[in-house]
Structure 1
């Protein structure tokens, strides 16, 4: 078949890209057309997203796509992070500057919510991990501080759905991102309207939820004219970046729970692909999450803070006159003495600290551990702690599914961190297979290819990824030392940290 081109607009917390997926019927290859920075904007003591600047950069990418591929382009789709949202008025005005999930306004809101609707009831209605960044608590905070603005809202759109509206005029929310909101019912397959009303939230603004792979309409005429594109199809892939990435895990075990995945980046999302949500009391106790996937599957997973700790340490080192690239950071961490101190990567102390190295040292100080005194020691502490947290979460996933995990697949940008990949194999005692790095973009474009009829099943998507990607395998090493470290780590997490 002639090579077909699908455009992925892939927005992450640090950067965005417009990518082209070139599919010849057997293999897919990616070509980056345009990359641009992303990140929070500080505005009057709040943290916001500059979505208008992102839209401007997306249009630059579309222009480059048109110049490069012209009529070969079949469709375009957007994926982004979860939880954040935009409110639109009836006339299509954006109400306010959209908040960043790390904004401090949600502190304490969960406890207020539990006074109206008990925690077990919220979990039964959503199946989601309790995190103050979830859309539910963001919307509650907004409704308390600015109820008039919320009342004006005609449509609630999550970030990728907002960009799909800009592209095509669609006013719907795609399933995989809806399930990150803690507002969607995992068994009724609709918004949890009764729960939201009990919490005093308006529900008139919640739109239709559509499945990944839905055709949303044609590219707006003005967007097509400015970019030089034809009025091509706009398709909702799995719009949550993790949902797209997991679609591109190159496993041969689709339909089985004996493999686990880690989508590794700023956040590490570790989980299993299951046919249904797990809503048991034990799942509530372990604070796991059930997020939607392809073909009605659910991703039983845990959000773990991830390489955020390393990224923020690197920024601090650079501010203090010690610039590192990630390769050099890995080297100094590898050279540092092992198992000196551990932290819980998911402690609220690390969510948005003023200085990450000082936050790590302070956590170690409060837990009466050795305090890392070198840059390498700090990074090693973060990476070892992350690998040990993976082992703990793996034990929970196996308990909840009743199946032993035989292999762990790591996808995303974190696959490039060889040291963490080896630590993960060592800590869990399971082989680790890494790749592809660009799993999110691959999942996005291959879902579009499936919508066009060029690809069939989810298994076929994964076969194409396997045929098109390079992967690396890491076998467990030094397991006795890591077993001892795990005992120390779990004992540490059982303490009440000041």
Structure 2
């Protein structure tokens, strides 16, 4: 039995997971869990990177206490954000959070001053989000940011943590691909785009692919944890890339949906798809395992539902008690007959003061029935998400000429049986739910493969299928 540590950091919480592999199955055990709070300081929002680093050290001390013999460590996080380091390797300030409002209007400013939107897409094939690293860095440069001016290295969040643990400055391919600074045709950061930011390739670490051994824990980290020179492996460092690597598919005729606060719906492609249609429909080409392309679209996910639940939690005047269990709450909605639909990607649902009010405003404007209870809201939200998934699946079929015969759903949303059934009904194809913890699984299996115990992505996926329980939802005639 071999053991690996997956460090899986999300935008609200983080955890470490011990993966144990016996040659046929991988067992996952959550080791530590911790919050990942966004820090509001001086009108901006930052990440507490030293805190995250210390949480990793805490997990490593527990590894020592338990006497586990780790083969390696892998780190995955969200994309787009980055940290600055000076020439002595010291962290300069705290990384900005992608939700910081300083990037409001950032895209339009960049297009007006540096390069057209169409040209940027031709260089990167990445969909346009104001918090993409390209626009964050341009915003900081225009503002005269001293930490940027003094930075010797700019490292994406997983790369920054690897640097703090090993002293090795790298730029992992999958997380770099989310920055809108990587050219998928050359497979490296685009020097023309870097030039528009006043940066050079030397500002970033050497490019590494998932599965490459980066280095070992520094003597300082070894002394702080009591461990030896454990290797750190560059996994698919963007969390969605790790999750997609864990899709337990056997054939190529599938789409995947990473379902959480965001819904990322796409297909695996052997090459980038960059053309007028993908540009017009704002599809993205992000890096995947084995040089594959994750051709996908970002869709608002469970965010709308989560925000409604928060409102109901503090509303003591509701006519019914709101169950904490998601599927129990969904069960209340089975009696609902509200057939109204919203457009989940409408900007009004991004950060409303009241999500339920935003839903009612949309339905009023579109002349639809208003929900009268939490059950009605749940039905409206999930039927709307399922309808949006069907729209995007049809776009994917048109853009890729791929026959899609099943949808694999990974992430926390895969345990929402109500949403899974609505999705199967809307798409008219089977929906395979699981794994729920795909990111940590994908992280671990890349480490297993780096050790030479698995050879191919297909073998990785077969092991995952052998290790977890899947549930298939087939289309039903009514919802």
TM-score by structure 2 length?
A: 0.95
Structure 1 match to 2:16? 18
> Which residue, out of 279, 291, 298, partners 2:293?
298
Q: Structure 1, residues 288-339: CA drift from partner, whole Å, max 9, x if none?
A: 0000001100010011121111222222222334764223332233333242
CA contact 2:424–2:475 (8 Å) conserved in 1: yes
> 1:339: which partner in 2?
339
Match of 1:360 in 2: 359
Is the contact between residue 137 and residue 197 of structure 2 (CA under 8 Å) also seen in structure 1? no
- Measured in 2, the distance between the counterparts of 1:249 and 1:38 equals 26
Q: Is it true that 1:268 corresponds to 2:263 in the alignment? A: yes
Moved more, 389-398 or 369-378: 369-378
Task: Give the secondary-structure state (helix, strand or coil) at the position aligned to 2:91.
Answer: coil
Contact 1:143–1:201 (8 Å) recurs in 2: no
Taking structure 1 as reference, are residues 203 and 215 closer, same or farther at Cα in structure 2, changes over 3 Å only?
Answer: closer
Deviation at 1:149, TM superposition (A): 2.7
Structure 2 runs not aligned, ≥5 long? none
Contact 1:151 1:202 in 2 (8 A): no
Alignment of 1:377-416 (within 5 A): 377-416=376-415
Paired residue for 2:194?
196
Structure 2 Cα separation of the partners of residues 39 and 383 of structure 1: 28
Give, in angstroms, the shift of residue 363 of structure 1.
Answer: 2.6
Q: Normalised by the size of structure 1, how large is the TM-score?
A: 0.91
Query: Does residue 415 of structure 2 align to residue 420 of structure 1?
Result: no
Change (3 A) 1:319 1:145: farther
Using the TM superposition, give the Cα deviation of residue 271 of structure 1 relative to its aligned residue in structure 2, in angstroms.
0.5
Secondary structure of 1:271's aligned partner: strand
* More divergent stretch after superposition (365-374 vs 93-102): 365-374
Superimposed CA distance per residue, residues 29-75 of structure 1 (whole angstroms, 9 cap, x where no aligned partner): 001111112232222322222222222222222222222242x2100
Residue 467 of structure 1 is matched in structure 2 by 466
Q: Evaluate the alpha carbon distance shift between residue 230 and residue 292 of structure 1 in structure 2; reply closer, same or farther with a 3 A threshold.
A: same
- Please give the secondary structure, in 1, of the residue aligned with 2:392: helix
Shift of 1:201: 5.3
Deviations 1:63-93 (A, max 9, x none): 22222242x2100010011111111121223
Alpha carbons of 1:173 and 1:112: their partners in 2 closer, same or farther (altered >3 Å)?
same
> How far 1:134 sits from its partner (Å)?
1.2
Structure-2 residue corresponding to 1:494: none
Cα RMSD (Å): 1.7
1:284 and 2:282 equivalent? Answer: no
Structure 1 alignment gaps of length 5 or more: 482-498
Q: Is the 8 A contact 2:173 2:207 kept in 1?
A: yes
Partner of 1:436: 435
Write out per-residue CA displacement over residues 246-276 of structure 1, whole angstroms, 9 at most, x where no aligned residue. Answer: 11110111xx3x2100011111111101111
Quick one: distance in 2 between partners of 1:350 and 1:200? 35
Q: Partner of 1:344: helix, strand, or coil?
A: coil
Q: 1:42 to 1:280 in 2, by over 3 A?
A: same
CA distance in 1, matches of 2:406, 2:123: 32
Assess, with a 3 A threshold, how the Cα gap between structure 1 residues 334 and 86 changes in structure 2: closer, same or farther.
Answer: farther
What do residues 375-418 of structure 1 show as CA deviations (whole Å, max 9, x unaligned)?
22222222111111111110111111112200100011111111
Find the counterpart in structure 2 of residue 319 from structure 1: 314
Count of residues in Structure 1 that have an aligned counterpart in Structure 2: 473
Q: Per-residue deviation at 1:356?
A: 2.3
Distance in 2, matches of 1:352 and 1:204, equals 37
1:449 CA drift (Å): 0.7
- Match of 1:349, SS state, is helix
Q: Pick from 91, 97, 100 the counterpart of residue 100 of structure 1.
A: 97
**Where do residues 31-110 of structure 1 align in structure 2 (5 Å cutoff)?**
31-70=29-68, 72-110=69-107
Range moving further from structure 2, 46-55 or 125-134: 46-55
Which residue of structure 2 aligns with residue 328 of structure 1? Answer: 328
Whole-Å separation in 1 of the counterparts to 2:65 and 2:334: 45
**How do 1:170-209 and structure 2 match up within 5 A?**
170-198=168-196, 204-209=202-207
- Closer, same or farther: CA 260–366 of 1 in aligned 2, 3 Å: same
Q: 1:8 aligns with which of 6, 9, 15?
A: 6
Change (3 A) 1:94 1:303: same
Matched residue SS, 2:298? strand
Greater Cα shift, 360-369 or 458-467: 360-369
CA distance in 2, matches of 1:189, 1:38: 31
Between the aligned partners of 1:53 and 1:318, the Cα distance in structure 2 is: 29
SS at match of 2:286: strand
Q: Distance in 2 between matches of 1:478 and 1:230?
A: 59
Question: Which aligned pairs between 1:149-228 and structure 2 lie closer than 5 A?
Answer: 149-198=147-196, 204-228=202-226
Contact 1:102 / 1:351 at 8 angstroms: preserved in 2? no
- 2:191 and 2:200 in contact (8 A); partners too: no
Partners of 1:228 and 1:359 lie apart in 2 by 53
Q: Counterparts of 2:378 and 2:37 in 1: how far apart (Å)? A: 22
CA drift of 1:361 comes to 2.4
Q: Are the equivalent residues in 1 in contact too, given 2:169–2:204 (CA < 8 A)?
A: no
